[in-house]
């Protein structure tokens, strides 16, 4: 067994009793045991952290890959509907101008710029939703 504590004990026992008093030997062995236990915990925590990091990277990668396939399958229409729904929710909570700004920012984050036609459609959808809210 290659236990580091056993090697330390063997080395300390090989010394004559004149080299170190028994009380000191017990103190040193107790401290060595404590340090070795702490080192085991450190290694265990390090392995756990590394495992969680790898698992997180794998999950994020799978979501990114699946997300690309989902976007390709549903097409940009679903993304535009989601953008309109978000803008309508923001308009209900704040105002139309803030909703337009949020829609522009979301589009910019996705690497797209809203055209004048898309902004007009967005404004129409917001106006329609706000009109329905006012009616009832």
Q: Do 18 and 65 reside in the same domain of the chain?
A: yes
Torsion of CA 108, 110, 112, 117, to 10 degrees: -90
Q: Do 65 and 25 reside in the same domain of the chain?
A: yes
The share of the chain scoring above pLDDT 90, in percent, equals: 15
Enclosing domain of residue 132: 75-136
Q: Do 30 and 44 reside in the same domain of the chain?
A: yes
Asked whether the predicted pLDDT for residue 69 surpasses 70, the reply is no
- Residue 116 tokens, joined: 């004048």
pLDDT of residue 78: 64
pLDDT tens readout for residues 32-46: 888 888 777 788 888
Instruction: Round the average pLDDT of the chain to a whole number and report it.
Output: 81
* Chosen domain end from 74, 102, 121: 74
pLDDT tens readout for residues 81-99: 888 899 999 999 988 999 9
Domain count, the chain: 2
Q: Do 81 and 99 reside in the same domain of the chain?
A: yes
Q: How would residue 127 be classed by pLDDT, with cut points 50, 70 and 90? A: very high
pLDDT of residue 64: 73
pLDDT of residue 17: 55
DSSP of 6-18: HHHHHHHHHS-TT
Q: Do 12 and 67 reside in the same domain of the chain?
A: yes
Q: Do 25 and 39 reside in the same domain of the chain?
A: yes
């Amino acid at each position: 067994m290659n236990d580091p504590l056993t090697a330390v004990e063997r080395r300390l026992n090989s010394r004559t009793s004149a080299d170190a008093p028994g009380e000191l030997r017990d103190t040193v062995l107790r401290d060595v045991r404590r340090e070795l236990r702490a080192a085991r915990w450190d290694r265990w925590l390090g392995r756990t952290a590394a495992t969680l990091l790898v698992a997180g990277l794998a999950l994020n990668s799978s979501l990114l890959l699946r997300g690309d396939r989902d976007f390709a399958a549903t097409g940009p229409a679903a993304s535009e509907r989601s953008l309109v729904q978000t803008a309508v929710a923001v308009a209900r909570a704040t105002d139309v101008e803030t909703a337009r700004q949020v829609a522009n920012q979301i589009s910019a984050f996705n690497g797209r710029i809203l055209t004048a036609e898309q902004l007009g459609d967005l404004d129409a959808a917001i106006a329609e939703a706000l009109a329905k809210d006012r009616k009832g």
